Amino acid sequence: MNESFVEIIRTQLYQELINSTQKGTIQIFENYARVIAGAGAMLYIASRLIGQISRNEPIDFFPLLRPFAIALLIGSLGRITNAIDAGADSLVSAVTQNGNSTTERIAYIIKQREKAVEDKLKVFQEQQTENDSGGDESWSETFKSLGLKFSTIADYTAAKIDIALQEMFQNLLVAICNIAEGILYLISILFRIVLRIIGPIAIALAVFDGFTGNIAEWFGKYINFSLLPVVANIYGIISFKIHELYLTNYAPAGQTNESLTGDGFLGYGYLGLLVLILIGYFQVPAATNLILSVGGVGGITQGISNYAQAGYRSMKPPLDRASNKAQNMANKVQTSTRFKNWNQILQRKK
């Protein structure tokens, strides 16, 4: 799997699935959602109006606008999700550019190390040609003057094999990262399509009491799954950076007077590094859920709503008493004014 395949999953596959479901399944669920929202709006408004009328209270029209706002949200849900996807895609593109630069740095390090081995072999061959007629004694002096860590062609071959193995492991790491990113992209696409299909009904149910947290929870989940590829790319950059540091610290690049491979460089330590990087991809969904607390949003919203309602209920009796007293005083003033007017009329008639 290469980066172009991941790009196909990210753009073409998701867009084709959205276009196919938008005309069929999503439209059907949206129609059902409008029916549910309409029935819920009628029940919601009727329950509020009946209570206020039975208690002889003034009608509060502001809470009655909530079902209509939910109905508008259902109709514009597709445009909102498209905007969220566009923002997530821009973040993925920005992160991917940085990841490509890291991959290029790793490839540059390996090329530099390979060039160092080639330079050593070139110097070795030149000295061998110049001193070919000098016998074994001049041959030994040549090696001492060069100060090379490997003295035979076998050492050069071993160094070339080590570099080839490192390049193979780098390609393996790239393949693992691309496969893991592809899997996370597929998971993100699957859940986003499911959320798009079920979204209208989930939001329509928010009209009923007990389902008021559905809107915040749905948006929280959709945003989290939209950001899943972003977090996967960020982790890919971190894994490549670890790989780069490992190659830089344990395999000096371009230094022809140092050993190119340390003891056990390609042993269990390097394999353990690859295993740790692979395990880290399983934690990407958990890290994505930390971006937006889905359950906490509904709880916070519900808590704020409950506190506001409690404060309104606690303040309502004093306000009603003050309003009643003011009304009684106004009635008394009107009564006394009328009484005085009648007295004046009677006195004029006399």
Angle between helices 153-204 and 25-54 (to 10 degrees): 40
63 contacts: CB under 8 Å, gap ≥ 6: 48
What is the model's pTM?
0.62
Q: Would you say residue 288 has pLDDT above 70?
A: yes
Q: Per-residue pLDDT averaged across 52-75, rounded?
A: 78
Dist. CA 299–CA 297, nearest whole Å? 5
Question: What is the predicted pLDDT for the residue at 297?
Answer: 43
Query: What is the pLDDT, as a whole number, of residue 240?
Result: 78
pLDDT (mean) for 309-337: 58
- For residue 307, CA distances in Å to 64, 112, 199, 301 come to 19, 65, 28, 10
- Tokens 């920005």 belong to which residue? 94
Average pLDDT estimate for 292-299: 56
Q: Which of 205-214, 260-269, 288-297 has the highest mean pLDDT?
A: 205-214
Question: Is residue 255 scored above 60 in pLDDT?
Answer: no
Q: Are 234 and 95 in contact (CB under 8 A)?
A: yes
**pLDDT for position 309:** 54
Contact between 291 and 224 under an 8 Å Cβ cutoff? The reply is yes
Assign 262 a pLDDT band (cuts: 50, 70, 90).
Answer: very low
Amino acid (1-letter code) at residue 193: I
Distance CA 285, CA 232 (A): 9
pLDDT at position 270 over 50: yes
> pLDDT, tens digit, for every residue of 84-139?
988 888 888 888 776 666 566 667 766 766 676 666 666 666 655 555 545 554 54
The better pLDDT of the pair 42, 341 is held by 42
Q: Is the pLDDT of residue 2 over 50?
A: no
With a cut of 80, say whether residue 166 has pLDDT above it: no
Is pLDDT above 70 for 346?
no
Question: Own/partner pairs for 86-91, CB < 8 Å, 24+ apart?
Answer: 87/226, 88/226, 88/227, 88/229, 88/230, 89/10, 89/11, 91/227, 91/230
Q: Which two tokens stand for residue 58?
A: 């003034």
**Range in 78-82, 251-255, 319-323 with the lowest mean pLDDT:** 251-255
Confidence of residue 281 (pLDDT cuts 50, 70, 90): confident
Q: What is the pLDDT of residue 1?
A: 44
For residues 240-247, give the mean pLDDT: 74
Q: What is the pLDDT of residue 321?
A: 64
| Best mean pLDDT range from 51-65, 75-89, 109-123 | 75-89
